Amino acid sequence: MSKKKASSFEESAKILKDVVYQIENDDVSLDAAIDLFSKGVDAAAYCRKLLEEANGKITELKKGENGKLVEEILDL
């Protein structure tokens, strides 16, 4: 099993999807299932980290009282 880390949110999400599929649909040994589970946990943690980082970067442009655009950080 490859130890390559995902480099994007989309890649991590695909890894999670593949892990779930393999555990649910393939006849895997206990050792293989544990390895897959560990891989899934790592991918989920990476997704969570990226989402938390993105949460602090999302902003909204609104018109201020003077008609100029004002940038406001969204609290999601």
Q: What is the pLDDT of residues 33-70, one digit of tens each?
A: 999 999 999 999 999 999 888 876 777 778 888 888 88
Among 74, 36, 32, 27, which residue's Cα sits nearest to residue 55?
74
CA–CA dist 6, 43 (Å, integer): 7
Query: What residue ranges do the domains of the chain occupy?
Result: 9-73
Query: Which of 5-14, 15-24, 31-40 is the least confident region?
Result: 5-14
- The HSE-up count of residue 74 (CA atoms within 13 Å, CB side) is 11
What distance lies between CA 32 and its chain's CA centroid? 23
Give the pTM.
0.66
- In the prediction, which pLDDT does 53 show? 82
Structure tokens at 8: 């994007």
Mean residue pLDDT of the chain comes to 85
Asked if residue 72 has pLDDT above 80, the reply is: no
* Amino acid sitting at position 38: S
Q: For residue 51, which phi and psi values (nearest 5 degrees)?
A: -65, -40
At 56 the pLDDT is: 67
Q: Measured between alpha carbons, how far is 58 from 22 in angstroms, rounded to an integer?
A: 35
pLDDT of 55: 73
